[in-house]
Amino acid sequence: MARLRVAVNGFGTIGKRVADAVARQSDLELVGVAKTRPGYEARRAVARGYPLYVAGSGSPEKFAAAGLPVAGRLADLLGKVDVVVDATPEDVGRENRALYEAANVRAVYQGGEEADVAEASFNALGNYDAGRGKRSLRVVSCNTTGIARAAAVLLRWGVERWDVTLVRRAADPAETKRGPINGIVPTLEMPSHHGPDVRTIFPDLPIATTAVVVPTTLMHVHVNHVRLARPPATAADVVATLRSTPRFVVFAPGEGVEGTPQVMEVARDRAGEGGRRSADMMENVLWERGIRLDGRDLYFFQAIHQESIVVPENVDAIRAMFDLAPSKDASIAATDRSLGIAHG
Ligand SMILES: NC(=O)c1ccc[n+]([C@@H]2O[C@H](COP(=O)([O-])OP(=O)(O)OC[C@H]3O[C@@H](n4cnc5c(N)ncnc54)[C@H](OP(=O)(O)O)[C@@H]3O)[C@@H](O)[C@H]2O)c1
């Protein structure tokens, strides 16, 4: 069967990971990647054998001067594919929309874009079927992806009210120009944009989000209090349910995983296992000892690796748009098998 042809425009933190993930799928073909500058990430694309195209205001001469062969401009790449994953910086995706439409290519956008950039917002566990047949989808942001996955689990017990405080990483590890470097900065907009964003997946979810930004680059951590309508008997039932759900990891007491430094150490230790990318943790991460059920009140912490959690969601978004899998579960299983993602 012919594979679906995929382009990735924007080969940075998210784009390079999505490109690697697409290249591992048996039903998808990575036709090429595009960026504007011939930096170290462009060099990696060439080293990995990905045909490299020049996007936007980029100059092919500068790529040539850097010794990087290019296969053409973005328009040439769009002429060869069925779908483009736009992983350009915030708001550039919206500017690119006209290009994709003119080339008659479907598009997957990222969470830095406003929701109306696409026909629907997407999270695989949350609303896979809403993506079927769409010409454009927006994979929600890292934090929203983490909350939407958790919501997909918790809704089986009914959610009466959910308060989340997001402790947000200040910058990605490579972003040396962002801070704070010595402070805690509250997000004074309340609710933070994450709550309304989760409702692009679950429109009726009674969730309120607040956020603070802290000087770390490793991960975000969410502090959750959920009032359940029909709680399970014990916290152990919650743990067992999470452990049997794809894309969740629950660390047991005694494993020595106290916080995000050890979580990322586990990620580094698992690099290469079953296709896992170095230092990536694509699962929602919880601590068994940090899951408490007090009557109808559920408390839990979860950690979110901002650089990689949306990667499998992009793959599933493509499958949903083109109806490539018989079901949500089949798509998630195929993606997770190819990327070495844990189930439970
Ligand atoms: N990083 C995260 O934590 C995270 C998590 C979830 C979602 N997202 C979302 O994912 C999207 C991408 O974020 P990111 O963190 O991957 O950004 P990033 O690391 O800055 O990467 C963006 C990439 O796009 C390229 N680029 C810039 N302008 C371009 C243009 N006009 N056309 C094509 N490529 C262009 C950049 O390289 P050149 O400048 O060399 O072209 C770079 O390779 C955003 O919507 C963001 O909100 C980010």
Give me the half-sphere count of Cα atoms (radius 13 Å) on the Cβ side of residue 194: 25
Q: Tell me what pLDDT residue 343 has.
A: 66
pLDDT at position 108: 99
pLDDT of residue 342: 73
CA of 149 to the centre of ligand 1 (A): 23
Series of mean pLDDT values for 10-residue runs along the chain (344 residues): 95 98 98 98 98 97 98 98 98 98 98 98 98 98 98 98 98 94 96 97 98 98 98 98 97 97 97 91 98 98 98 98 98 97 71
Contact 29, 3 (CB under 8 A): yes
Q: DSSP string spanning 294-319?
A: ETTEEEEEEEE-TTTTTHHHHHHHHH
Q: Which two tokens stand for residue 84?
A: 């483009």
Domain ranges of the chain: 4-140+310-339, 142-304
Q: Please tell me the CATH code under which domain 142-304 is placed.
A: 3.30.360.10
- Pocket (CB within 6 angstroms of ligand 1): 9-15, 34-37, 39, 41, 55-56, 87-90, 92, 110-113, 141-142, 172, 306-307, 310
Query: Comparing 4-140+310-339 with 142-304, is the CATH topology the same?
Result: no
Ligand 1 centroid–CA 38 distance in Å is 14
What's the CA gap between 74 and 109, in Å, rounded?
A: 16
State the pLDDT at residue 1.
73
Active site residue 142: yes
Which secondary-structure segment (H or E) carries 248? strand 248-251
**What letter does residue 2 receive in the DSSP assignment?**
P
Contacts of residue 235, defined as CB under 8 A and 6 or more positions apart, other chains included, come to 291, 292, 293, 298
Q: Which two tokens stand for residue 205?
A: 């979810």
Query: What class has domain 4-140+310-339?
Result: alpha beta
